[in-house]
A and B are shown apart, each in its own frame.
Chain A
Amino acid sequence: MNWPDIALALCGIIALYAAVRVVLEKDTMRKLPFLNVVSFAISGSIILLIPHPLAIVAAAAYFVGSTLESNAIASKYAGGPKNE
């Protein structure tokens, strides 16, 4: 077992732990940071799974998309922009 396998396993464990925390958390606002942790871990494991230059583009696209999604949920939950 060499080091990329260990890193990949770590990413998987972090993602699963954060997912369990998201499901178990009661408060909606506290779920969102753990969702970001999930997206970090998944982006890392995408890059580690395939050693290819395009994998970096794909991981960046997933990261941007996931951040946009959680930002939109948080912004809607808080009730829109302040200066209105």
Chain B
Amino acid sequence: MNEFLMIVFGAMVILGGIATIISRDLFDKLISLGIIVAGIMPFLADRGLLDVLTATALIAPLSTIFILMAIRRRADEP
């Protein structure tokens, strides 16, 4: 991976982290968390850890789905 790609994906990770912290809505927070995961994946691939990448890519959505269980749906709110 050359320097340009490192800067691009690193910027994605930082951007997602800051957006996760500053946004107020729970759904917006979960979407920004998805950007962090997306920025991490090329770094995993660059090290050649393909087995870890496969497992992480399957586990990360499960974590989001577990959090979704506790969120009240939009229709119930006034």
Contacts and interface: CB of A to CB of B under 8 A. Distances in A.
B71 A46 contact: no
Given A8-B5, A69-B65, A72-B61, A79 B41 contact: no
Range class of the A interface residue count: 35 or more
Interface residues of B, number: 41
A42 B54 contact: no
Given A46-B53, A61-B58, A66 B8 contact: no
Interface of B: 1-2, 4-5, 8-9, 11-12, 15-16, 19, 25, 27-28, 30-32, 34-35, 37-39, 41-42, 45-46, 48, 50, 53-54, 57-58, 60-61, 64-65, 68, 71, 73-75
Interface of A: 5, 8-9, 12-13, 15-16, 19-20, 22-23, 28, 31-32, 35, 38-39, 42, 45-46, 49-50, 52, 54-55, 57-58, 61-62, 64-66, 68-70, 72-73, 76-80
